[in-house]
Amino acid sequence: MGLENMNKSREIFESQSNSLILKYPQLSKSSLDGLPIVKGMLDIVDQNGKYWQTFEIEIHCTNSYPNRFPSVYEVSNKIPKIADWHMYEDTLACCIGIVPEEIIRCKNGIMLLDFYEEAVIPYFFNQTHRMVEGYYVNGEYEHGLAGILQYYTELFMNLNSEKVLGLLIKFLKNGDLGRTSQCFCGSREKMRKCHKSQYYTLMQIGRDNVKEHVSTIIHVLTKTR
């Protein structure tokens, strides 16, 4: 099954890379260890036409593409390869987005061109702005595990971490709910008047993923105590 998924991912990635390269000819197809990649130069130009700098990047196909992001690497070594700069220190890949948002965005698959324009370019513009001006222009999530906790904290309107964890556990204990069902939070309110939007977001993320993220949050909270 893994080989079948990889072959399918490879086919989709290779097919979608054509439209990306057609629009951005400074990129080109290549391969690494038998897997397709797109590599080349990314010029950072703002909406006023001001040129900032150029990065050399690689986008690697993964066996979960297009239902998860491909791996992105900055190979010109302009960005420090540390977590504080939204880099995975173990793989040296760019941390393009927060995991729950990535899952939702990729739920029905993504197009490589859209990913490049809507995620990759903004990521590198944000990094450039921090290099030049000292801060991220578009704000940021914390990196890694702490970012997952931050995502759910904001989903539940900035409740404290313990309450957020409790709500996620209650969500996992409940079955599928309708608009007129009592809310999973235990308030006895109808869900449509309570945590309706949060419930549908959690359902998009998926119970298995939420369960995994609950374990992550417990790990983060345990470390901070």
- What's the whole-model pTM score? 0.89
pLDDT of residue 139: 66
Question: Same domain, yes or no, for 90 and 184?
Answer: no
pLDDT of residue 225: 65
Domain CATH number, residue 74: 3.10.110.10
Q: Which residues contact 34 (CB under 8 A, 6 or more apart)?
A: none
Question: Same domain, yes or no, for 119 and 151?
Answer: no
Q: State pLDDT tens for residues 51-61.
A: 999 999 999 99
The answer to the question of residue 108 being in a domain is yes
DSSP string, 5-46: HHHHHHHHHHHHHHHHHHH-TTEEEEEETTEEEEEEEEEEE-
Structural domain ending residue among the three candidates 90, 113, 133: 133
Question: Same domain, yes or no, for 27 and 77?
Answer: yes
pLDDT(175) > 60: yes
Question: Same domain, yes or no, for 46 and 127?
Answer: yes
The answer to the question of residue 139 being in a domain is no
How many separate domains does the chain show?
Answer: 2
Question: Same domain, yes or no, for 116 and 201?
Answer: no
- Residue 52's domain spans which residues? 2-133
- Give the residue among 70, 46, 50 at the shortest CA–CA distance from 121: 46
Question: Same domain, yes or no, for 85 and 10?
Answer: yes
Structural domain ending residue among the three candidates 133, 161, 187: 133
Question: Same domain, yes or no, for 7 and 98?
Answer: yes
pLDDT(37) > 90: yes
The answer to the question of residue 45 being in a domain is yes
Residue 1's pLDDT band, with cuts at 50, 70 and 90, is very low
Question: Same domain, yes or no, for 86 and 9?
Answer: yes
- Give the residue among 61, 71, 64, 133 at the shortest CA–CA distance from 97: 71
Q: State pLDDT tens for residues 19-30.
A: 999 999 999 999
